[in-house]
Amino acid sequence: MPFSNVYIPGAGFMGSAIAFLIASKTDATVTLLDVYPDALERAKKAVDKYGKSSVEKGFLPQEKLDELKSRIHYTDNNKDAVHADLVIEAIAEDVKVKQELFRHLDHTCKPETVFASNTSSLSITTLAAATKRPDKFVGLHFFSPAHVMKLLEIIPGFDTSKDTLDRVTAFGQQLGKTIITSKDMPGFITTRLGLVLVNEAAFCLMEGLSSAEEIDTGMTLGYNHPMGPLALADFIGLDICLHIMETLYAGYGDPKYRACPLIRQLVAAGHLGKKTGRGFYQYNKN
């Protein structure tokens, strides 16, 4: 059975793009929820921007844009989730905050509602354990920007049922994504591989192998990566990179995942990357 009512807590960067993606590729009604009215306002603007650019690039007719926007709703009331067939959570990357939200939604939503988290690194099994529906709980890891990136990483938790997996896989295909499936291990496939490269690049810089620019050029020209690992880390946010390395280290207990001290130092100094104007590189904040 397709999902016709999708509810997305977290109207931030990821939530707004996921909402636009779902409304543009399916007939579903999509509701964005956020605790901050300002975030809902920003989400509306983001959806407008994605729509405008899709029309300009010829991906979407104007009439379709008006119609799909009429199916995206915005709310700060959790109770609206009573109608959801599918919840895709995209709030802050904090296990306690996510568990608290899912515990709450478990009471509000219908028993058959499927729960998904867009977490980049947290355990799906641990999040599912906050609910009484671990069989209907799954990881749906979208990439940024969600309406453009082709990949969807699906992570079944320890108790996710085959039916849930089949349904979200069909949904991902409807969204036009190429799907990979990963076991529920820390960092799954993509975050583990991506962050290990970032961390190792930071070690190369700290050990004085070369400059940030040359390390990045090594990967852009030598391996055809669209962006070097240090520039990527600045784009993601060094605080987020550190948090993910700590999750990997705690999860595997393997020293190969120890966070590079240079990343720790930059975070301690408040140099978090592009968003603060300085990370491995210096940015013009305007």
Ligand X SMILES: NC(=O)c1ccc[n+]([C@@H]2O[C@H](COP(=O)([O-])OP(=O)(O)OC[C@H]3O[C@@H](n4cnc5c(N)ncnc54)[C@H](O)[C@@H]3O)[C@@H](O)[C@H]2O)c1
Please state the closest distance from residue 133 (CB atom) to ligand X, in A. Answer: 19
Of 9, 139, 157, 172, the one binding ligand X (CB under 6 A) is 9
113 is a site residue for ligand X (CB under 6 A): no
Comparison of 91 and 195: residue with beta carbon closer to ligand X: 91
228 is a site residue for ligand X (CB under 6 A): no
- Binding segment for ligand X (CB under 6 A), chosen from 13-21, 52-60, 105-113, 264-272, is 13-21
Please state the closest distance from residue 68 (CB atom) to ligand X, in A. Answer: 20
Q: Cα(268)–Cα(45) distance, rounded to whole angstroms?
A: 33
Comparison of 16 and 164: residue with beta carbon closer to ligand X: 16
Comparison of 92 and 268: residue with beta carbon closer to ligand X: 92
Of 21, 33, 152, 266, the one binding ligand X (CB under 6 A) is 33
Which residues neighbour 226 within 8 Å (Cβ) at sequence distance 6 or greater? 220
Of 90, 152, 154, 155, the one binding ligand X (CB under 6 A) is 90
Comparison of 74 and 204: residue with beta carbon closer to ligand X: 74
Q: Cα(96)–Cα(101) distance, rounded to whole angstroms?
A: 9
Q: Cα(156)–Cα(172) distance, rounded to whole angstroms?
A: 14
32 is a site residue for ligand X (CB under 6 A): no
**Of 235, 204, 171, residue with least CA distance to 30:** 171
Please state the closest distance from residue 124 (CB atom) to ligand X, in A. Answer: 12
Size of the site for ligand X (CB under 6 A): 24
Beta-strand (E) ranges in the chain? 5-9, 29-33, 72-75, 86-89, 114-117, 137-142, 151-156, 178-181
**Of 77, 102, 80, residue with least CA distance to 91:** 102
Q: Cα(151)–Cα(210) distance, rounded to whole angstroms?
A: 32
Q: Cα(15)–Cα(6) distance, rounded to whole angstroms?
A: 12
Comparison of 81 and 260: residue with beta carbon closer to ligand X: 81
- Binding segment for ligand X (CB under 6 A), chosen from 29-37, 168-176, 202-210, 217-225, is 29-37
Strands 5-9 and 86-89: parallel
Structure tokens at 206: 């700290």
Which residues neighbour 204 within 8 Å (Cβ) at sequence distance 6 or greater? 210, 215
Comparison of 91 and 175: residue with beta carbon closer to ligand X: 91
Q: Cα(269)–Cα(276) distance, rounded to whole angstroms?
A: 11
Comparison of 33 and 248: residue with beta carbon closer to ligand X: 33
239 is a site residue for ligand X (CB under 6 A): no
153 is a site residue for ligand X (CB under 6 A): no
Binding pattern for the stretch 123-152 against ligand X, x by CB under 6 A and - elsewhere = -------------------xxx--------
**Of 76, 131, 77, residue with least CA distance to 99:** 131
- Binding segment for ligand X (CB under 6 A), chosen from 88-96, 126-134, 221-229, 277-285, is 88-96
Chain residues binding ligand X by CB under 6 A are 9-15, 33-36, 39, 90-93, 97, 101, 118-120, 142-144
